[in-house]
Amino acid sequence: MFYKLSFCLAFFAAVALQAQPSLKSIPVPQPINVDQFIRDRAALTLLGKALFWDMQLGSDGRTACATCHFHAGADHRSQHQLTAPLNATLTSSDFPFHALSDPTDNSSTVLRSNSSIYGSAGTFRRKFTSINFSNGTDDGYDLSDVASFALDGLNLRQVTTRNSPSVINAVFNARNFWDGRAQNVFNGSSPSGIADSAATVLVYRDGQLLSEKVNSANASLASQAVGPPTNNVEMSYDGLKWPTLGQRMLTLRPLAHQRVAVDDSVLGPFVNSNAKGLHPSITYGSLVQTAFAPEYWQSPEGRDGFSQAEVNFALFFGLALQQYQSTLVSDDSPFDRFASGDTTAMTQQQIMGLNLFRGRAECNTCHSGPEFTAASVGALLNNGGRGGPPNAGPDTGFFRTGVSPLEADLGLGGVDDFGNPLSRNPNAPNVQGAFKTPGLRNIEFTGPYFHNGGQATLEQVMEFYNRGGDFPAGGLGPSVRRLNLNANQRAALVAFMKALSDDRVKFQRAPFDHPELCIPNGHTNSAQTTDARFTFSADENWVAIPAIGKAGAEAPLQTFDEMLEGVGNDGSRANHLSQACPVNPAN
Ligand code: HEC
Ligand code: HEC
């Protein structure tokens, strides 16, 4: 009898281990049906990396994708990241947002419950007027923003209403965004997939220019990428459309105002001799022509006064960003080495944490597989087979854990731009308030945590799970309940999560090396910008993220709690947000 039991346990342990092998065992998902568009993958990666880091992409010429994804693929800025109060400088005492007199008991007295969100500062609220070809940015004017992002009569940058997740390993997500609205199927021009029935691109075939539909599965990163550039909170002035953005970008020299390391793993061979941007012979137009089949850009004609290449710019952009981000895979953590048989790769405490993660704490109900999320392409192909209800299909891996009250953010319970439910099974229980389970890799560096950014440390996250969530009313996903773990067990789980960090991310080594970036980090109180075009905008603080080559930085990335405590400002941490920009981007 005892024999049998231990045999069974050993058998299940072996199965569990197989279910969570190294990420190296998982093929990187590739978009279906895209070979017809692409003729040079290396050029596509180059194009994608330049576009991701280029400050010229935003209407103001100062906002890149990386502005909100510069730090282990996420954003840990310290000032003006809250939706309220505006322009706050964050400190440790602001966290957790929902503070309890007894952190082990979610029904104990609430000391504080801050319903604001730690988002990412995006762009000022401005109206687009025209392209300014002389300086490569957009012209526009300040819109009154009295109601939301204004202070002392001046507009501040708008702040997103969710925390920015990491782009590293996002290629494994079946759908992207916290609510899944970046669809698995890319339609060539918007995030909404097949729901956007008007989406077409132009193809030039047998001397004729034709409208064609794009229908590419496993391309959620392409669907995602075509959202922010024309979004008037994140990157653009209000009213900018994709063909106009294409018209401006196709003429520009990539990264013209930013330093690039000569040994950058992708951009290095093409760096300009003064080390700023790529070589003058290269424009975004020339990179598009190298990367994509001529049928998609060669016609002299186009649509609505735009050339074919300008009309198809969203297609190029989406596929290039999908390709670059599909190289951002961190599959060499101590956990991966341990899972591949190196029993010394994790400490005893981390192994104890792993056993709790898969055992008593049941974290892997949702954080399953080598991706540490059941919201993965792998789980989708497996028909929702890992965690979640069977046949969850495209909703695989979306759960409610009680981070905020139901009515604060419906998550998967919301609708797309066309009013369609984001859930494929909208009447199922627990769709309302469900969010995509994040993969936990490099989690040490991507605080604050959760869709609202309400927890500063992994210890706080552990306390949250230990008490069974903060807002259980309305129902919780499987395995979220009071865990009664003691301090040693919680510490072991935290130690285990730190075994999911890849040193290449921690030290920004290839493929996680990157160009220089200047990012706004809060506003100067009551001061007006020196930019004479925008008299209603507040002045701001700019900090530098230096260019890093393929060998990486000497200092490890700063964690969010180190930033809050000012640890690393002496240079002992990378991206410590107190380095001045080499040029003042406001001039
Ligand atoms: C102003 C800040 C900001 C900018 C600029 C920005 N993002 Fe994001 N990003 C966010 C936020 C916030 C979210 C989460 C939004 C949500 O889920 O509703 C997000 C989500 C994502 C995700 C989804 C990851 C996941 O796990 O769901 C990816 C991928 C991503 N962004 C890539 C990009 C790319 C590519 C660009 C440029 C085209 C970009 N971002 C520009 C803030 C930003
Ligand atoms: C019911 C499914 C489920 C279970 C069980 C679960 N998680 Fe999560 N986890 C999620 C979801 C969904 C989120 C995002 C929630 C949100 O932001 O609203 C999340 C978020 C997190 C985050 C923050 C990630 C980030 O990028 O912000 C961490 C860390 C985490 N979980 C660790 C754990 C640990 C450790 C356990 C076990 C004690 C656990 N989870 C159990 C579904 C789950």
Q: Do 340 and 317 sit in the same domain of this protein? A: no
Q: What is the pLDDT of residues 357-388, one digit of tens each?
A: 999 999 999 999 999 999 999 988 876 556 55
403 lines ligand 2 (CB under 6 A): yes
Q: Do 441 and 492 sit in the same domain of this protein? A: yes
Q: Do 488 and 353 sit in the same domain of this protein? A: yes
Q: Do 360 and 461 sit in the same domain of this protein? A: yes
Q: Do 387 and 430 sit in the same domain of this protein? A: yes
445 lines ligand 1 (CB under 6 A): no
| 226, part of any domain | yes
What DSSP line would sit under 90-107, residue for residue? P-GGG-SSEEESSTT-TT
Using the predicted structure, report yes or no on whether residue 488 has a pLDDT greater than 60: yes
575-579 long-range Cβ contacts below 8 angstroms, 24+ apart:
575/70, 575/71, 575/76, 575/545, 577/76, 577/77, 577/78, 577/521, 577/543, 578/543, 579/543, 579/544, 579/545, 579/546
pTM of the predicted model as reported, rounded to 2 decimal places: 0.96
Query: What CA–CA distance (Å, rounded) separates 525 from 510?
Result: 39
- Please give the pLDDT value at position 10: 37
How far separated are the first and last CA of the chain, in Å rounded?
78
Q: What is the pLDDT of residues 292-346, one digit of tens each?
A: 999 999 998 999 999 999 999 999 999 999 999 999 999 999 999 999 999 999 9
What DSSP line would sit under 241-279, residue for residue? -HHHHHHHHTTSPTTTTSB--TT-TTTGGGB-TTSBSB-
Q: Which of 442, 474, 506 is the last residue of a domain?
A: 506
Whose CA is closest to atom 35 on ligand 2?
363
440 lines ligand 2 (CB under 6 A): yes
Q: Which of 462, 482, 506 is the last residue of a domain?
A: 506
Query: What CA–CA distance (Å, rounded) separates 54 from 252?
Result: 11
97 lines ligand 2 (CB under 6 A): no
Beta carbons within 8 Å of 80's beta carbon, 6+ residues apart: 86, 87, 88, 121, 156, 157, 159, 520, 521, 522, 523
Give 344 Cα–ligand 1 centroid separation in angstroms: 36
Q: Do 302 and 359 sit in the same domain of this protein? A: no
Q: Do 227 and 345 sit in the same domain of this protein? A: no
Question: Side-chain half-sphere of 332: how many Cα atoms within 13 Å?
Answer: 9
247 lines ligand 2 (CB under 6 A): no
List the one residue out of 437, 457, 438, 460 whose CA is nearest residue 447: 457
> By the 8 A CB rule, do 37 and 296 touch?
yes
Whose CA is closest to atom 13 on ligand 2?
437
Q: What is the tally of structural domains in the chain?
A: 2
List the one residue out of 166, 88, 89, 77 whose CA is nearest residue 122: 77
Whose CA is closest to atom 1 on ligand 1?
122
| 8, part of any domain | no
Task: Kindly state the DSSP code that residue 398 receives in the 8-state scheme.
Answer: E
455 lines ligand 1 (CB under 6 A): no
Residue bearing the bigger pLDDT, 84 or 529: 84
Testing ligand 2's pocket by substitution, the residue of 20, 71, 120, 450 carrying the most ligand atoms inside 8 A of its CB is: 450
Whose CA is closest to atom 41 on ligand 2?
363
Domain limits for position 445: 18-26+331-506
| 557, part of any domain | no
Give 165 Cα–ligand 1 centroid separation in angstroms: 7
Q: Do 282 and 367 sit in the same domain of this protein? A: no
> By the 8 A CB rule, do 20 and 213 touch?
no
Testing ligand 1's pocket by substitution, the residue of 52, 67, 69 carrying the most ligand atoms inside 8 A of its CB is: 69
Looking at the DSSP bridge assignments, the partners of residue 118 are 82
